[in-house]
Structure 1
Amino acid sequence: MPLAEPSAPAPRLSPRAIGIGSAVVTVAVWTAFIVIARASASGSLTPLDLTFARICGAGVVLVPWGWWLVRRLRAQGQTAGSLFGLSPLPLRITALIGALAGVIYAVLAYSGFFFAPAGHASVLMPGSLPLWTALLAAVFLHDRITPTRAMGLALIVAGDLIVGGRSLLHAFGDGGDVWKGDLLFMSAAFSWACYSVIARRFGLDAVRATIALTVFAVLTFLPVYGVLAALGAVRSNLGHAPWGEFVFQMLMQGVGSVVISGISFTRMIQYFGPVRSTMITSLVPGLSAAGAVIFLGEPLYWNLLAGLVLVTAGILFGVQRAALRPMPAPGGA
């Protein structure tokens, strides 16, 4: 009986294909995060319920990953881990980034979608992020703001003011609530910018940082909110929301926005570098605003369009600096 010929090795993707694929996945998930989060505001879940679903979804993947990673590091003789050996980072850093990026960011961002349309989020969250990050890095990391970056930041401020300023002026006329969502979006971006600066300050690995902040959120937010919701101390619809809706949000907000986009963003950085990667992600404001018009039926007013143009131009101006270091990927923002 003739011996069977050895099977040919499975073809491996080239680094270029992996880089391009990671860029496509990152932009798609970040764009979908904004559109779906706004659509979720008309569903059964409250902003805190969405945060709960996000943390549950990410925790299912990242908590076991953290346990495995800490065990591997300790087997290699390294002193690593905190929070019962689930976080690969020290407790102080884990708690700090976990509070900022694991809990506060999600609560602020999801709350914003219950007041303001996705088009506003498209401008104010991705637009405010480089603004806050540059200012915080200048203060705490002593980064120099070059004239080119200053021009980019000025364009971002102008875009944010055109979008958010109109809703604030409108509130004085008839008491609208859109301005509340705008402030929440910008506050969410500030929270993530604080996390980004901390990550740069301590040279944190993106994957380990994402695991650590998720572990903190799982061990703090989930039990506290679960008890408060069960006692009726906070408004929650977890008890009677459709399970299909909750599972979908776990997959989209947790697995998609936190795990998949976190990994794809890191791989994109490895291939394209931080500057080109930031230029690629500058597509998100325009794509998510277009998605809001197409899928949610939101109107595209002149001020929103002008804000999109200014913010996108500002992001492109702001990355014209070869020494720019990568920032941790936001969970879809």
Structure 2
Amino acid sequence: MFDPTNVRQRAFALLLVMPLFFASNIVIGRAAADTVEPWTLAFLRWLVALLILLPFALPGLKAHGRDIVRNWDLIGVMGLLGMWFCGAGVYFALRYTSATNGTLIYTSSPVLILVLEWLFRGRAIGRREAIGIVLAILGVVAIVVKGSLAQLFALRFNAGDVIFAIAALSWAVYSVLLKRSTLSAVPTMSLFAALAFAGVVTLAPFTLVEIAETGHFPASLDAWLSIFGLASISSVLAFYCFQLGVAVVGPSTAGLFMYLLPPYGVLMAVVFLGEELHGYHFAGFLLIMAGLLLATAPAALWRRVAAMLPPSLAHALPGRARAAAE
């Protein structure tokens, strides 16, 4: 049963809805990109997000100002990775490639996070987790290629896909850096505000050049409503849930929930764009959820499940769960 006072359970609940907030970036961002230039859109998105965060983050910023200043080089790099590459970079990429290609490439970030943690932190990848990752990847592929092998083989990659690949790697590095011990003393909301400020700083020069060259600046109400939606939902809610998840369960586990981006994106397309659901959507979603459960469920849960099964069935369960039944 869900216990809202349990920190880990609350973190997992937030991680479940986090990809829905990130998926909103595709729906809202694509609408905004028609009237707002990429650098300007990313800059205003994070500037508005920073203004939303400041009233809540200010006490923590004052209390941990020295920690933030001491780690400003690291925070600046993370602002570049999380808000520059994964902000304006994504909006540029969508000009040259399809959302299908972008989704397929971007959801490789959980695997990249695991690889980075394995390379630089010596994190072991268990058999149960590896099987869960494979199932989740198969679910993502099933959705983005519409259950058709012909569609998979017909995918063509271009400059936009390369930008998406860089963004996926940037997100993986950003996620791993979030767990640096030097940042652990700073409250999640205050750290997020500092990162948003770093993003605004790194985006500002490019935005000024873009405005000077194009002469475009958002003036319509629709454009500003889109920017506010990106700032409040795709930025504040999405990043806060992710960063809280990283702080509680670690970047590898939190990153696995990014596999939910395709099914949530499909759901938003059905609700807001009138698209239809198909069998491959349900098949992909079931594979993704099975993979997430297999990769993230605690060993104690598997031991309880194994204890209720006959020994012959318990042998099919992974690792410690099988031992619990024997």
Query: One fold, TM greater than 0.5?
Result: yes
Q: Distance in 2 between matches of 1:105 and 1:314?
A: 25
Per-residue CA deviation, residues 147-177 of structure 1 (Å, 9 max, x unaligned), is 12222333455556664797785466xxxxx
1:268-279 mapped onto 2 (5 Å cutoff): none
Q: Distance in 1 between matches of 2:169 and 2:109?
A: 7
What's the CA shift string for 1:98-142, capped at 9, x where partnerless? 1111211112322333344545555543x3221111111111111
CA distance in 2 between partners of 1:285 and 1:71 (Å): 39
**1:232-251 equivalent positions in 2, closer than 5 A:** 232=213, 235=214, 237-238=216-217, 241-251=218-228
CA drift at 1:267: 6.2
Instruction: Select which of 53, 71, 82 maps to 1:101.
Output: 82
From the superposition, tell whether residues 219 and 183 of structure 1 become closer, same or farther in structure 2 (CA, over 3 Å): closer
Q: Structure 2-normalised TM-score?
A: 0.68
1:37 match? 29
Are the aligned partners of 1:124 and 1:160 in contact in 2 as well (CA < 8 Å)?
Answer: no
1:8-157 superposed matches below 5 A:
15=5, 19=10, 22=14, 26=18, 28-41=20-33, 43-62=34-53, 68-73=59-64, 79-82=66-69, 90-118=71-99, 121-125=102-106, 127-157=107-137
1:57 and 1:253 in contact (8 A); partners too: no
Closer/same/farther in 2, CA of residues 129 and 103 from structure 1, 3 Å limit: same
Distance (whole Å) between structure 2 residues aligned to residue 136 and residue 114 of structure 1: 29
Contact 1:153–1:318 (8 Å) recurs in 2:
yes
SS in 2 for 1:80: helix
**How large is the RMSD of aligned CA atoms in angstroms?**
4.2
Task: Point out where structure 2 has 5 or more consecutive residues left out of the alignment.
Answer: 301-326
Please, which of 307, 313, 317 is the counterpart of residue 294 of structure 2? 317
In the alignment, is the contact (CA less than 8 A) between 1:31 and 1:287 conserved in 2?
yes
Query: Offset of 1:288 from its aligned partner?
Result: 1.5
| Contact 1:100–1:195, Cα closer than 8 Å, also in 2 | yes
User: Would you say 1:227 and 2:219 are equivalent positions?
Assistant: no
Instruction: Indicate whether 1:198 and 2:198 are aligned.
Output: no
1:111–1:34 Cα change, 3 Å: same
The gaps in structure 1 that reach 5 residues or longer are: 1-13, 83-88, 173-177, 324-333
Q: What CA distance in whole angstroms lies between the structure 2 residues aligned with 1:230 and 1:30? A: 27
Aligned-residue identity in percent: 23
